[in-house]
Amino acid sequence: MQVTNMFKRNSIFDIRSKPYTLLGIVGFFVAIISFIPIISDSALDINLHDTYFVITDFSLYRFYAVILLFLWSVYLIANRLIFSRKLTWLHIIATLLPIVFFIITKKHTWGMSGVPRRYYALSEFDRPYYDIGIYYVAIILSLVIGQLIFLTNLIVGTIKHFQLKNHENKN
């Protein structure tokens, strides 16, 4: 009796030949994390001028999961149109690293634990010696560049695919 391996070369879980599988796996785990109240029990507070936004971690994790699962489904549908596997790896890394960075640093930088949800001047709290905003800008920039890499990979692959089809039809 031969035991079948679900991680075979052509299976959906083969990360070497289908690196976009990481998007689906991470999206699935982030979705599961969003339902665990111990892990996601805080919120992101944003104060813009005279408006105060409170975004719960449940919503933030579910948003991440939807984005990752959407990108995974686009890769599943357009797998034959992808131009380069290296560009796919760049896109996946540039997409997953910022999300992992935000999840890891969330507890340390978002909100102020134990402080009532009111506006306080930053001078009332200790500021770090470094500006963490620079890291956030770099991470968001890498996320945007990653999505541009994805679009470039898809557009170039589509153009090459149709050029090949037209060349085959002429011959």
Per-residue pLDDT tens digits for 127-162: 555 566 677 788 889 889 999 999 999 999 999 888
Element (H, E) at 133: helix 132-170
pLDDT band at 1 (very low <50, low <70, confident <90, very high): very low
85 vs 97: CA distance, rounded Å: 18
